[in-house]
């Protein structure tokens, strides 16, 4: 039991991962920076939680100013890549296509360890246990992110279902009122139609 706790603690230190929720206003762009060394694995996962058609523009720029990754109007995404050079990587969420709707985005940036090269004597820098711990850490991080995104999707779908249910109830109430009004109108009309008028 203690060894499992020790491994999980080591994984938390080896694989730092921060999750954030931000609001990107209409015609705005929010950017974040991460300083890494060459060979470090960067992983970005994001999900648009609320706003408009649940889409956002995503762009990742390397330290040399070149665009590493760019997509427009994405609802969610997840990608991993090794840093090709030392420096600051910038990732931006853009909502410039929206006229007045802000978007709420949940995202996380995962940093792996920089790849180490073998020593001069030919020995591998990683032993088997370290590799297994790192693989386990990657798997646990992926599971955690999947749970977070499933929770967000469940909230979105629940909100949509609640909205649909309330509209159905209101529509049914309106239909019932129309039917009652039509029934009363028909009764009144038939009563007037068959009414015998006395001539004095």
In which domain, by residue range, is 102 found?
Answer: 2-114
Residue of 38, 40, 93 whose CA lies nearest to 69? 93
* Global pTM value: 0.60
The stretch 152-181 carries a mean pLDDT of 90
Nearest-angstrom CA–CA distance, 10 and 155: 32
User: Read out DSSP for 114-142?
Assistant: PPPPP-TT---SS-HHHHHHHHHHHHHHH
Q: Could you tell me the CA-to-CA distances from 48 to 23, 72, 101 in Å, in that order? A: 10, 13, 13
Assigned domain for 73 exists: yes
Distance of CA 109 to the CA centre of its chain: 13
Q: Is the pLDDT of residue 121 over 80?
A: no
Task: List Cβ<8 Å contacts ≥24 apart for 72-77.
Answer: 72/97, 73/97, 74/46, 74/48, 75/47, 75/48, 76/46, 76/47, 76/48, 76/149, 77/44, 77/45, 77/46
Q: How confident is the model at residue 196 (pLDDT cuts 50, 70, 90)?
A: low
Nearest-angstrom CA–CA distance, 103 and 120: 52
pLDDT at position 31 is 92
pLDDT at position 200 is 54
Question: Which SS3 state, helix, strand or coil, does residue 78 take?
Answer: strand
pLDDT digits (tens, 9 = 90+) for 78-92: 888 888 889 999 999
Assigned domain for 179 exists: no
Assigned domain for 60 exists: yes
Q: How confident is the model at residue 16 (pLDDT cuts 50, 70, 90)?
A: very low
Assigned domain for 48 exists: yes
pLDDT at position 2 is 40
Assigned domain for 176 exists: no
Q: Is the pLDDT of residue 184 over 50?
A: yes
99 in Cβ contact with 105 (< 8 Å): no
Assigned domain for 81 exists: yes
- Sign of the dihedral defined by the CA atoms of residues 121, 122, 125, 126, in that order: negative
Please give the helix or strand (H or E) that residue 174 lies within, else none.
Answer: helix 128-193
Assigned domain for 42 exists: yes
The stretch 115-123 carries a mean pLDDT of 50
In CATH, what number is assigned to the domain containing residue 86? Answer: 2.60.120.680
Q: Is the pLDDT of residue 199 over 70?
A: no
- Sign of the dihedral defined by the CA atoms of residues 126, 17, 91, 72, in that order: positive
pLDDT at position 157 is 84
State the total domains in the chain: 1
85 in Cβ contact with 63 (< 8 Å): yes
Q: Hey, which of 1-10, 102-111, 133-142, 165-174 has the most confident mean pLDDT?
A: 165-174
Q: Is the pLDDT of residue 170 over 80?
A: yes
């Amino acid at each position: 039991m203690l060894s499992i706790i020790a491994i999980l603690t080591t994984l938390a230190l080896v694989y730092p991962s921060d999750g954030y929720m931000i609001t990107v206003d209409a015609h705005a762009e929010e950017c974040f920076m991460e300083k890494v060394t060459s060979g470090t694995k960067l992983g970005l996962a994001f999900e648009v939680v609320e706003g408009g058609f649940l889409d956002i523009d995503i762009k990742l720029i390397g330290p040399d100013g070149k665009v590493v990754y760019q997509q427009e109007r994405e609802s969610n995404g997840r990608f991993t890549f090794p840093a090709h050079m030392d420096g600051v990587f910038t990732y931006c969420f853009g909502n410039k296509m929206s006229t007045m709707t802000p978007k709420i985005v949940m995202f996380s940036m995962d940093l792996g360890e920089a790849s180490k090269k073998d020593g001069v004597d030919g020995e591998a820098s990683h032993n088997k246990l370290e590799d297994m711990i790192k693989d386990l850490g990657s798997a646990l991080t992926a599971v955690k992110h999947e749970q977070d995104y499933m929770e967000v999707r469940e909230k979105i779908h629940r909100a949509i279902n609640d909205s649909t249910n309330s509209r159905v109830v209101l529509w049914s109430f309106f239909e019932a009122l129309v039917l009652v009004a039509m029934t009363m109108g028909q009764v009144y009309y038939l009563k007037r139609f068959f009414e015998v008028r006395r001539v004095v």
